[in-house]
Amino acid sequence: MRPLWRVPASLVLAALLVVPLLAACGGGGGGSETPAYVSLTNGQAASVVIGQADFSGTSNNQGGGLTPATNTLSNPWGNAATLDGKLYLSDGNNNRVLRFDAIPAANDASATLVLGQSSFTTAALGTAADGMADPLTVAIGSGKLAEAEEANSRVLIWNAIPSANGQGADVVVGWPDFSTPSTGCSSTELSASQGVAIASGKLLVADTSNSRVLIWNAVPTASGAAADLVLGQVDLNHCTGNDADGNNVSDANPTAATMDHPRSVWSDGARLIVADANNNRVLIWNSFPTSSTQPADLVVGQNDFTSSSSGTTSATLSSPSAVYSNGNQLFVADETNHRVLVWNALPSGNGTAADTVLGHTTFTDNNESTSGGSDGFSYPAGLLAYGTQLLVADYNNNRALVFNGQ
């Protein structure tokens, strides 16, 4: 789970042939025509840092009493997205989303557009259509942009990709409208929503504190729209973690159909992957769910669907915060192990071990890196695989790291 001390205001090749990146691949990322494979090695150093002048910096602009700028980040969290080569990155504690004209190739890059704020030098909390409170994952698909806001328990949707600083959203999900805050457990409400994806015209939301994933069969065009499907719960009006019988009491063990605080969701429209954080696992549907409560087909991080213990090996996880795939590989931000795990082919069996680890040189190390550097993390919590590159949001180091494939 997100660090308790941080109270929000408010990755042998599976195939030697390189294939094009799926248009919807990224579950919130934009399309790309670059190859969909990132070749990485254990403990590999990042090539570029975003949000800091160099790899030695970890300062939080707000904590340091500084004004936000085009080149700073404060607790970035959640998956990033791309469209037409441009990078969209959530800057959580600055209550904004930043757009860069490309994935930066050099340190200390500056953003060119900001959402959630009217300028690059403000970081105010907001609840209106043009404001944000603890924005996390950003998603792009079907010509739209969506942003999950944890503190506002809502998802903002722009019907077209924003082109101006501070441009307001067109639609809100989780609230009936932009002026009526709401948090709850129903088909129209959310609670501390952390993940969002757009795939094949569908909207998917990791409704974290409600321990469920909600699916809209079409991206809503009107505010307050009700979800069509729910995963992790018996119906749209139950929200207790690991509650298979719907009695509002958590069961002793999870199942293939329950969740406990899912934090990230990815889909290409054909498959679905969810980071089920408090169960220390990742759930995989080999085909996109067509009915509510549909159980997952595979589990990673555990050997079976009824286990939930954490661990620090190539086959275990500890509070996974983000999942991402390029259609060929699986990437998981294993947050409290302070690492990113990479599967070089999508898992085909329960408990499949990862192939590569970033943040450490071995799979049994879980030390936190709080003093900068190019090869360590402090609570990694967001991912983006783009062509031969992998971007990781390094939450507590107030930066994002770009890893170039070998």
Query: What are the pLDDT digits (tens) for 150-185?
Result: 999 999 999 999 999 999 999 999 999 999 999 999
Average pLDDT, the chain: 92
pLDDT of 3 over the 90 cut: no
User: Between 63 and 200, where is the model more confident?
Assistant: 200
- Among 187, 123, 127, which Cα is nearest to 151's? 127
Per-residue pLDDT at 64:
59
Confidence of residue 62 (pLDDT cuts 50, 70, 90): low
- Among 378, 302, 298, which Cα is nearest to 340's? 378
- Write the DSSP symbol of residue 221: S
Confidence of residue 406 (pLDDT cuts 50, 70, 90): confident
Using one digit for the tens of pLDDT, what is the confidence trace for 224-256? 999 999 999 999 999 999 999 999 999 999 999
* DSSP per-residue codes, 114-139: EESSSSTT------STT--SSEEEEE
pLDDT of 63 over the 70 cut: no
Mean pLDDT across the stretch 118-138?
A: 97
Per-residue pLDDT at 351:
98
Residue 3 lies in a domain: no
How far apart CA 159 and CA 406 sit, in angstroms, is 37
Residue 40 lies in a domain: no
Per-residue pLDDT at 8:
40
Six-digit token string for 306 = 């009824």
* 297 and 284 Cβ atoms separated by less than 8 Å: yes
Per-residue pLDDT at 177:
98
- Among 52, 67, 51, 70, which Cα is nearest to 120's? 70
pTM: predicted TM-score of the whole model, two decimal places = 0.93
pLDDT of 117 over the 90 cut: yes
- Write the DSSP symbol of residue 59: -
Share of the chain above pLDDT 90, in %: 88
In our burial notation (b when 16+ CB lie closer than 10 A, e otherwise), range 322-348 reads: bbbbbbbbbbbbbbbbbbbbbbbebbe
Mean pLDDT across the stretch 103-119?
A: 98
* 376 and 392 Cβ atoms separated by less than 8 Å: no
Residue 233 lies in a domain: yes
Residue with tokens 């300028």: 119
Per-residue pLDDT at 24:
35
Residue 125 lies in a domain: yes
Per-residue pLDDT at 2:
56
The whole domain housing 334 covers 48-404
Could you tell me where the beta strands, DSSP code E, fall in 208-246?
Answer: 212-216, 229-231
Residue 128 lies in a domain: yes
Distances (CA, A) of 156 to 137, 140, 223: 11, 12, 9
pLDDT of 9 over the 90 cut: no
Q: What is the CATH number of the domain that holds 132?
A: 2.120.10.30
Residue 270 lies in a domain: yes
Six-digit token string for 356 = 């590569």
How far apart CA 400 and CA 231 sit, in angstroms, is 31
Per-residue pLDDT at 226:
98
Q: Please tell me the total count of domains within the chain.
A: 1
Per-residue pLDDT at 65:
62
Residue 41 lies in a domain: no
Residue 99 lies in a domain: yes
